[in-house]
Structure 1
Amino acid sequence: MQVCPDKLVLAGEVRIAAELLTRFEARYGFPLVEGYGLSEGTCGSTINPVAGPRRAGTVGLPFPGQEIRIVDAAGTEVASGLDGEVIVRGPNVMQGYLGRPEETARVVIDGWLHTGDVGHLDTEGYLTLVGRSKDMIIRGGENIYPKEIEDVLAANPSVLEAAVIGVPDEKWGEVVVAYVQPRPGVSVDPAALNELCARRLSGYKRPTSYVVVEAIAKNAVGKIDKASLRAGHAATPAGA
């Protein structure tokens, strides 16, 4: 039986690699516990059990009274281990967006909140997130979710934060580009990142280029602003 720790840190807004969770607990002596939720679902829908089995890399199990399903593009529930859209049902789900009935009807269907997040459930109901549907990259017909690549890049000790985007390509439709922010006082070696990705990622998932920046763009609520990164990349002259 696991005992509830005396202290812990809850994380629910940032995607954290499993390796970082392990390093955090080894360094500070108490766990960093991941959860998941949306404002439309009253902020919390899953959490790794505080006094039970915590699975690094997942965002845990549903809160009591809530249900989580994974569905395909047609809204059909998929089997454990398969990726699809995360949908949530429970008394926590909003009644709707004020004055926006059409958007409400698109997001809340038969009581289920369609989150736009992509993930899968394991056989015991733990949820793993792989990205946002709008951030998915399609390279030569292959679906790529940036989180997997970002987690690999974050394993390099010189990288403070990484953001992966898809950019247009005449041959493949889209290719992968990685933006990386160094840790203070440290330089990032793109060649080392390329070697790391070559060891841990399939060929089609590997970034074609690495852009080192002082700080990765964030939106008003502190999340990585991938729309801004894509727009900025498109506006950058080739070879710049």
Structure 2
Amino acid sequence: MALLKKKEAAEYRIPSLAEASPEFAALVQKRADLHTLQSKLNGELRDVQKQIDAAGDKGPRVSARIAELLGDEADSAPMLRKQAADIRAQLADVEAALEIVFRRLDDAKGPASTAVCQIVKPEYGKRVAAVAKALEALAEARAGYDDLRNQFEAEDVAWTSLIPLALGFLGDPRDGQIPRFMKEVRGRAMFEKATSKRTRLTKQSRRIKLPGKSEAYADTDPIEIARELRAKSRLGKREARLDAASRKVANGR
């Protein structure tokens, strides 16, 4: 049916979180690298464990010095067990690193989603407008249908042979699904218009008078200005030193 025919708009593909955010993409790559390393270490551990099991089947173990005196082959089990322990320690480090990456991915998902939404926003607006236009046409068609139905009833015509349509799912013509949707769309449009106007106003140059001096800020966002002021304060500098010390301790582990 023509009504079910796919439109070209359906071929539009939104960017992934990794495509929209280099930071998120780097974390995804780091996760993949750690999983690859984890798989490699697990394979090495299985091989070493097989060697340990095989060495244990050769009878009682003797020390390397006694084996030398006897002319026997030295027992490789102790060395293999140490190798296995080293691999397990590496695997534990990889597990810890993966947990950190997973947490960072969760934190980065919000900003990355915002980036995706900003990219897709024009296309989203086009599709909402298309829905609104279609619903306006439906509302007009419904009004025409209701007008004809009202005429049948006014003339007391038995018109069931025409098979009346049940349009109750659309709700009341004045406050049903379509009017509510159109009201919501108009409300969002007004909100975005006000937001855009506020953004243009905040792009005007700002100059803040500080005690004993005057500073001009290139960044006009009040929140960013507040952050910069805090960073330059005594408390902000102390927080920066504590943060640097925490990172140093974390990197030393």
Pair in the same fold by TM > 0.5: no
TM class, shorter-chain normalised?
Answer: under 0.3
| Structure possessing the higher relative contact order (Cα contacts under 8 Å, 6 or more residues apart) | 2
TM-score, length-scaled by structure 1: 0.19
Larger helix proportion of the pair: 2
Larger strand proportion of the pair: 1
Q: Over alpha carbons, which structure has the higher Rg? A: 2
